[in-house]
Amino acid sequence: MNVLSVEEARALILRALSPLSTEIEALVALQGRVLGASIESRWSLPAWDNSAMDGYALRADTVKTPGTILPVVHHIAAGDGRTYHLQAGQAARIFTGALMPEGADAVVIQENTNQTPEGVAILSVPVVGQNIRRAGSDVAAGECYLPRGRVITPGDISLLASQGYESAPVFRRPQVTIMTTGNELCPPGSGRPARGQLIDGNSVAIAAAAHACGAHTTVLPPLPDNAAATIAAFEAVESDVVVTTGGASVGDHDHVRAALLTVCGDSLKFWKVAVKPGKPIIFGKRGEQLFFGLPGNPVSALVTFEVFVRPALLALQGQTQILRQKFMAALASPLRAGGGRDEYRRGQCWNTDAGPVVRVYEKQSSGALSSIAGADVLVRVPRGAPALPKGNLVEATALSDAVLQGSFKEST
């Protein structure tokens, strides 16, 4: 198989998947989910002409000059469904949201009135339509007001509720199974590892990253470095997506590629990508099931998850904005030249009066956990890119909302 570029590999992944089936969720569970079908309004909003303010309903043409006094013949509160009639030269006390009386065509706010023994003095000359919410002026009956593919906001939920909906169809969250491989691994919480052993941090880190983009996750115990056991594990798993870390290279104890070739057959899409960290990354399919084989080094696993797996998980949920937001930032120190692959270097960003500044960490080894633990940005360095001096602008990818909100500061 050819070594693909980052863009080629990601495009191949996205072409190989379709959004998952839809499910019905209650309104309280819709925030951030993606609508699986367009929603039409059941009735107009507002359903009736109503007052936009507390004040007095009247006929505008009966008040020619400020100070005109009108008798108050009705008191209309919100929720009162009775029909009221207003004659020329009369006023009705009305409150926000209350139905407009028949014959009235304006509302004068109470601040522009004075009560008198004879009724109410209107201190400003009204115009037709002022302070009235007309029926259907917000949403018309039968209007498609929430389209399929929309990421649902609290405002959308309020609109759904106003139309009598208790639930809505959304794309299902993907079920993701996470496996790590290696005889040397022991689970977190098992104490200090024995000589030659390593604590498995990949499984919980990848699970957290998958959960953060909406997936349901299942973490399995580490797989031994055994070909038959690896194939059996892959054949038994039934989730939408399988993510493995480790065993993806070509060593004598690396069995993931061969196992995926057995399980996926001709649907093993690629094995290598020209990216650093993370060249040995595998992607394949079995039916609609997606398999990602990520490198075992912790930094490589998390970076390749970010670049390749995260967009796929979002696309499965119907998302269209699947890539992180990029922005320009000034280098806090010189940037080394690029090598033979596109690199994603980890760093920290903070805000200054002149704009964002990024420090790319000196430690960029794929095994250096400190280079990913505190990172809030990735700086992509294209293959063969020249070295850059301090102060030069580079394109950074935000890994946290705090970066985009400009609330980040330099750590001390």
The Cα 221–Cα 203 span in angstroms is 9
What CATH number does residue 355 fall under?
A: 2.40.340.10
Place of tokens 């990601």: 10
Domains identified in the chain, total number: 4
Report which of 309, 314, 306 is spatially closest to residue 32, judged by C-alpha positions: 314
* 38 and 55 inside one domain: no
Dihedral sign from CA coordinates of 181, 183, 187, 188: negative
What CATH number does residue 166 fall under?
A: 3.90.105.10
Per-residue pLDDT 10s for the chain (412 aa) are 678 999 999 999 999 999 999 999 999 999 999 999 999 999 999 999 999 999 999 999 999 999 999 999 999 999 999 999 999 999 999 999 999 999 999 999 999 999 999 999 999 999 999 999 999 999 999 999 899 999 999 999 999 999 999 999 999 999 999 999 877 787 887 788 888 888 888 899 999 999 999 999 999 988 888 889 899 999 999 999 999 998 766 655 567 888 888 989 999 999 889 999 988 899 999 999 999 999 988 899 999 999 999 999 999 999 999 999 999 999 999 999 999 999 999 999 999 999 999 999 988 776 677 778 888 999 999 999 999 999 999 999 999 877 766 655 554 4
pTM: 0.85
Which token pair is 186? 């022991």
Q: What per-residue confidence (pLDDT) applies to 223? A: 87
The Cα 66–Cα 63 span in angstroms is 7
Does the N-terminal peptide bond of residue 66 adopt cis geometry, omega within 30 degrees of 0? no
* 182 and 230 inside one domain: yes
Beta bridge partners of 252: none
Q: What per-residue confidence (pLDDT) applies to 280? A: 87
Domain membership flag for residue 117: yes
- Can you give the residue range of the structural domain that contains 388? 326-404
What CATH number does residue 105 fall under?
A: 2.170.190.11
* Residues sharing a CB contact under 8 Å with residue 252, sequence separation 6 or more, in sequence order: none
Beta bridge partners of 290: 241, 285
Q: What per-residue confidence (pLDDT) applies to 249? A: 64
Domain membership flag for residue 69: yes
Q: What per-residue confidence (pLDDT) applies to 326? A: 92
Q: What per-residue confidence (pLDDT) applies to 253? A: 59
Q: What per-residue confidence (pLDDT) applies to 367? A: 66
* 146 and 192 inside one domain: no
Q: What per-residue confidence (pLDDT) applies to 404? A: 64
* 85 and 145 inside one domain: no
* 342 and 391 inside one domain: yes
Q: What per-residue confidence (pLDDT) applies to 377? A: 94
Q: What per-residue confidence (pLDDT) applies to 187? A: 80
**How many CB atoms are located within 10 Å of the residue 242 CB?**
25
Dihedral, 47, 52, 57, 60 alpha carbons, nearest 10: -100
Which token pair is 157? 């939920």
**How many CB atoms are located within 10 Å of the residue 71 CB?**
11
* 191 and 300 inside one domain: yes
Domain membership flag for residue 193: yes
The Cα 310–Cα 212 span in angstroms is 9
How far out from the chain centre does Cα 243 lie?
A: 21
